[in-house]
Amino acid sequence: MDEANNMVADTDSKFTLWKRYLQDLFSQSITLDVEESEPIIIEDEVTTAIKAAKSGKATGPDKVSAEMIKLHDDKSIKLLTRLLNGIYRTVIIPTEWLTFTFITLPKIKNAKTT
């Protein structure tokens, strides 16, 4: 459905509608009021997040799997934590992190889950 609640059927119109929606969603500016002296993200949080990552899942465009990330040692965790805090403070997200493949899945009536 478009902004006027009209049904969108052709592929080009659907693509345009999704593109506009995602551009609006991700173009909102973010303002953070953060103290420079202390880290917002701590190493324990990074370690916990890495341990919680599910194994056996498909990789993204970078081809880095959860299993590969789980191989990090303490030095890597420190560097990753520093990187994440720098990104959080500056709100400058690497453009590679903003690349994704968006796949719409049609709803199937009376679909059964396994």
Long-range contacts of 100-107 (CB under 8 A, 24+ apart): 100/60, 100/61, 101/61, 102/18, 102/22, 104/14, 104/18
Q: Is the pLDDT of residue 34 over 60?
A: no
Instruction: Give percent of the chain above pLDDT 70.
Output: 89
- Residue boundaries of the structural domains of the chain: 1-30, 38-98
Note the pLDDT tens digit of each residue in 49-68.
999 999 999 888 888 899 99
Lookup result for tokens 């968006």: 102
Q: How confident is the model at residue 96 (pLDDT cuts 50, 70, 90)?
A: confident
